[in-house]
Amino acid sequence: MKSNKNKDFIWNLLGLTINSFNSFFFLIVVNRINGSESGGVFTYAYSLICLFYMIGIFYTRTYQVSDTSNKYTNKEYICSRAFSCTAMLLVTIISLLIFRYDYFKTSIIILLCLYRLIEAFADVFLGILQKEGFLYKAGFSLFVKGIVGLIVFILVDYFTKNLIISCVSIVLVNIIIFLIYDLHNTKKYIEKSYKLKNAFAILKASFPVFIFTFLNIYLVNASKYILDIFDSASIQNIYGIILMPGTVLSLCAQYILNPYIVPLTNLYKDKKYKEYDKSIFKIIAIIFILGIVCEFIVAIIGISLLNLVYGIDLSAYKIELLVIIFGSIFVALIAVISSGLTIIKKNYIQVYIYIANCILTTIIAVLLINKFSIMGASLTYAISMIIQFCSSYLFYKNYINGGTDNEGSNKKSIRRGKRKYRGAI
């Protein structure tokens, strides 16, 4: 059992890491081989499909692997995922009909949609493996798809210099690995019987987490979407490149946060509200300090490193890069406070905060990007992340203080806190 846990940890970590950073490597390859115009199209298309990917997965996997009562069958989870993936494809097609991009941009968006749609559909099969005690097999699948997909993409793009053919190649890689590995390893766990009403019930149960995550992805990428309206593909490419270190920083912060999730859950379950609050503050402090250290490092070597990696002179965009890195610190802090609110079962209030901020961010983005281009996009990114963190943190503190004002009467205080905010939640 111990060795199995070790395998679970190692392969899940490797799989998630490769899967998270693949877009970073893809963008390097596209810039080096296809140029900045193609890089701009690719970075916009990938960020757009990342938003639609949330529709595809609909975040049913969390519900799937935590369903200890076995209320729904694996086949019903697969059916629910088929519905959400169909919705993902339809939304992509509708967006293309609305915006009427040129042939090249449309082709890249469709192919990346298919690439991530297959990934979204395969995710439900990886959930089956995880639930059956084979998390390492799920992690191995992500790792192989990431590595093989990247190698094939590089080789095809190098020899053809054609981004469309290169995107076709990674679609085929995902299809092949899904058929020979994911499906092969899970088919014995898939029942023949299922009820369509249960498939829809799964989607309904997962909707709150889906809408919250969808809005989060939109907020992080809103500056990219609005920039595409006002500027060229080459400008989008530059912004995508300077945004990448911020994305990497916020992803790395997850490695700090993840080990605390279970202890935080236990503290709240045991009604140790002061210790819970102190732990949240401790994680925020650690990530903020590390973020400031990263800000100084990026100020010294950031632009030089990006110039070397991407082969593009970005010297004129140092200030924009530093603004983005500062904003990415708050992206990481949002993840902390979001986890804190989720543990105390305050998901809906997060949705309301996200909706308000998404509307505000869109307005800010239009005003700033129209006037200041990349600097406007960078400022939009940083401002929106700061507003989201501050508003979420203020609600969290108001709620949690209801349970920590009086150590001797925690239950009574928490009840007061719950009554106070029931109307808003």
* Distances in whole angstroms, Cα of residue 158 to Cα of each of 115, 174, 224, 247: 20, 20, 27, 26
**pLDDT reading at 424 higher than 60:** no
Give the CA count within 13 Å in the CB-facing half-sphere of 17. 9
pTM of the predicted structure, to 2 decimals? 0.89
**How many Å apart are CA 135 and CA 129, to the nearest integer?**
6
N-term to C-term CA, the chain = 42
The predicted structure's pLDDT at residue 139:
94
**Three-state SS at 138:** helix
Beta carbons of 231 and 373 less than 8 angstroms apart: yes
**How many Å apart are CA 203 and CA 181, to the nearest integer?**
26
The predicted structure's pLDDT at residue 209:
84
Beta carbons of 364 and 383 less than 8 angstroms apart: yes
**How many Å apart are CA 373 and CA 385, to the nearest integer?**
19
% the chain with pLDDT above 70: 93
φ, ψ for residue 102 (rounded to 5)?
-70, 175
**How many Å apart are CA 296 and CA 293, to the nearest integer?**
5
- Secondary structure letter of residue 311 according to DSSP: -
**How many Å apart are CA 5 and CA 38, to the nearest integer?**
43
**How many Å apart are CA 132 and CA 65, to the nearest integer?**
9
The 10s digit of each residue's pLDDT in 275-313 is 999 999 999 999 999 999 999 999 999 999 999 999 999
What is the secondary structure of 40-76 as a DSSP string?
HHHHHHHHHHHHHHHHHHTTHHHHHHT-TT--S-HHH
Q: Which of 64-68, 155-159, 194-198, 344-348 is modeled with the greatest confidence?
A: 155-159
Measuring CA to CA, which residue among 108, 116, 110, 94 is closest to residue 37?
108
Query: What is the token pair recorded at 388?
Result: 């989201």
In this prediction, residue 403 has a pLDDT band, given cuts at 50, 70 and 90, of low
The predicted structure's pLDDT at residue 181:
97
Beta carbons of 245 and 381 less than 8 angstroms apart: no
Residue that the structure tokens 């987490």 belong to: 209
The predicted structure's pLDDT at residue 385:
96
